Every structure is written in structure tokens, then in C-alpha cells.
């Protein structure tokens, strides 16, 4: 952080550039972006790169948005007076050494298959997601795994 002035007792750490990493993590790494006024709608599109997970609670005027992201899995606490578009990085999951490599990927929201749209390297829920009693869980699964679970 950078102080506002040189020396005490008038120094402060309150400048925006002192907290800029917070915005970079919230909006860049975890990918929480406001898409309507007052957070009525928002998107969660994590960009984890080589991170194994990222957790964040972002306070908003409509309530806190909690996010727990890992490759192929996303848990989001959606405030009840909002709608969210949830996305997972399909390219990173498909490129990793996982059972999903080379498979056709599907999205499961709270264990149920949902429509998906491609947004760059991400697969996103086709319809906005509202609140639930527990955080909403989005997972990427191979199409064959979804068929075996009766989700096709």
C-alpha cells in the first residue's frame, strides 16, 4: 500500500490504489461482474489459471455474494433479490489431466442438467439463476457421466 502523505501523524492507507488488489481478485480472478444497476443481475466467470481454488465473499447493496471456485466446480450464494449467470472455464477443465479430457461437457446446476451457452472459453448457464436455501452448485461433467446418472 501507498500512504497518502509522508510521515505520521497524517499518513493514511485509504487511497484506491492501496486496495486495488481486492478489485482485481473479485472481478478478475473470481470473475464477479455487475451486469445491472444495484447488482440486480451479475455474472460469475472465474479465471483461475493455475490456482486450485478461490473463495470470496463480496458485499453488495442487495446482500453478500459468496463464491467458492475450483476447476470444474462453482458454488455461489446468490442473494434472493438478484439473478446470476454462472460460468465455468471449460477449456481449462478439458485441457487438464482429468476424466473429462476430450469429452463433450455438460453443466449440472444443483445436480440437474441445465442449458448452457458458450462465452469464450467458458460454459455459462443459459438462463439466469436465482437464490436457493443453500449456495447454488454448478459442475462440469462429461456427457457420458450425465447419461449414466440419468441426466440426459
Nearest to 73 by CA among 59, 92, 60: 92
- CA dist 92 and 1 (Å) reads 33
Which CATH number is 122's domain given? Answer: 2.60.420.10
Q: Kindly report the pTM of this predicted structure.
A: 0.80
pLDDT tens for each residue of 127-142: 999 999 999 999 998 8
State the residue range of the domain holding 50. 16-148
pLDDT tens for each residue of 28-42: 899 999 999 999 999
Does some domain include residue 5? no
Q: Poorest-confidence range of 6-20, 29-43, 74-88, 98-112?
A: 6-20
Does some domain include residue 133? yes
pLDDT at position 105 over 60: yes
Q: Give the per-residue pLDDT at 151.
A: 47
Structural domain count, the chain = 1
Amino acid at each position: 500500500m501507498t500512504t497518502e502523505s509522508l510521515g505520521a501523524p497524517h499518513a493514511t492507507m485509504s487511497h484506491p490504489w492501496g486496495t486495488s488488489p481486492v478489485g482485481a481478485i473479485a472481478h478478475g480472478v473470481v470473475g464477479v461482474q455487475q451486469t445491472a444497476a444495484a447488482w440486480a443481475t451479475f455474472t460469475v466467470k472465474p479465471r483461475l489459471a493455475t490456482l486450485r481454488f478461490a473463495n470470496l465473499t463480496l458485499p453488495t447493496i442487495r446482500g453478500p455474494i459468496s463464491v467458492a471456485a475450483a476447476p470444474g466446480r462453482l458454488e455461489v450464494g446468490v442473494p434472493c433479490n438478484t439473478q446470476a449467470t454462472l460460468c465455468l472455464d471449460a477449456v481449462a477443465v478439458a485441457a487438464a489431466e482429468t476424466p473429462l479430457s476430450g469429452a463433450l461437457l455438460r453443466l449440472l446446476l444443483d445436480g440437474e442438467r441445465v442449458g448452457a451457452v458458450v462465452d469464450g472459453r467458458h460454459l455459462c448457464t443459459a438462463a439466469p439463476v436465482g437464490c436457493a436455501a443453500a449456495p447454488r452448485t454448478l459442475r462440469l461433467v462429461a456427457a457420458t457421466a450425465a447419461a449414466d446418472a440419468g441426466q440426459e
